[in-house]
Amino acid sequence: MTTDPRSAAAGGLQGARCSGCSVTVYPADDTCPRCGGPAAPAVLQGTGTLWTWTVQRYAPKSPPYQAPPGGFAPFALGYVELADDVRVAAVLDVDDLDDIRIGMALSVTAGPGVPRARPTTLSEEGS
């Protein structure tokens, strides 16, 4: 049985690091996208800053999209730059889309599908 490369690893996101050129990638892959060399699993730090973002204001085409019971609601997607020098695409879980700012601190978690990011609290920044 293979592990989903987007799954959460103990202590963080499951990525990979090339043993040759040291590039880090997410999701994990056995081969480096830069040099083609072997890449080993690496747990990535789950915090970073928002690099860029956009708002999805219309429902995706169906199928495969299925609207939730309350209907479609606009949501934000962004790239979070982690300390591991890798950017992770994630859904931004924010209370107000107008509060999103490039450079804001975010905590990223993996799960089925696209990772989710939420603003980092002061207690999380200090840990």
Locate the DSSP E strands across 1-127: 8-9, 12-18, 24-25, 39-44, 47-56, 75-82, 87-92, 105-109, 116-119
Region 36-47: what's the mean pLDDT?
A: 94
Which residues does residue 39 pair with via DSSP β-bridges, in sequence order?
18
In a domain, 126, yes or no: no
Structural domain including 34 reads: 13-44
For the stretch 48-60, pLDDT in tens is: 999 999 999 998 8
Residues 39 and 51 in one domain: no
Residues 59 and 39 in one domain: no
Region 8-28: what's the mean pLDDT?
A: 84
In a domain, 90, yes or no: yes
In a domain, 30, yes or no: yes
Residues 83 and 27 in one domain: no
Region 76-85: what's the mean pLDDT?
A: 94
Percent of the chain at pLDDT exceeding 90: 69
For the stretch 55-76, pLDDT in tens is: 999 988 888 788 889 999 999 9
Residues 83 and 99 in one domain: yes
The number of domains in the chain is 2
Which residues does residue 48 pair with via DSSP β-bridges, in sequence order?
82, 106
